[in-house]
Amino acid sequence: MQIASALGGGTLDFGQWFKGLIAAFIGGGASAFSAGLSSMVVDPHDFTIYSAKFWKLIFGTFVISGLVPFFAYLHSKPVPDTKEVTNIKRTTTVGGEPPIVVEQRKETHTEPLVSKGE
């Protein structure tokens, strides 16, 4: 999804930005199941896979563990990158032959700089 930038200079590429936010949240929350399994080891009487406490612990851990990298992503990339797209359509006719339509798409976007250590 792209939305025109209010300051000009192209459009904002929300698609990649949202994808990064969701990936950060899910990646951070993925360790929640291991927290639930460790609770079964510590207290097998109260925390079984069939108990509500087990799933509440996993859900709560997932949300909290997912929010940390979610906000870290927002800290490193508070707004989406800009993306400038130019569509050019050319129609060429030669003699009595049917017209030939050639479409070009030019995209310009910002990419992160690679540091010398990488």
- The pLDDT value recorded for residue 114 is 53
- Hey, which bits of the chain come out as E strands? 2-4, 11-13, 82-92, 100-109
Per-domain residue ranges of the chain: 2-83
Q: Residue 109, SS3?
A: strand
- Determine the straight-line distance between the first and last CA of the chain, rounded to whole angstroms: 30
- The pLDDT value recorded for residue 116 is 54
pLDDT in tens, the chain (118 residues): 545 545 555 577 788 889 999 999 999 898 888 888 899 999 999 999 899 999 999 999 999 999 999 999 999 988 887 776 677 777 777 777 787 777 776 666 555 545 555 4
If you count them, how many residues does the chain have? 118
Question: How far, in Å, CA of 91 to CA of 100, rounded?
Answer: 6
- The pLDDT value recorded for residue 55 is 92
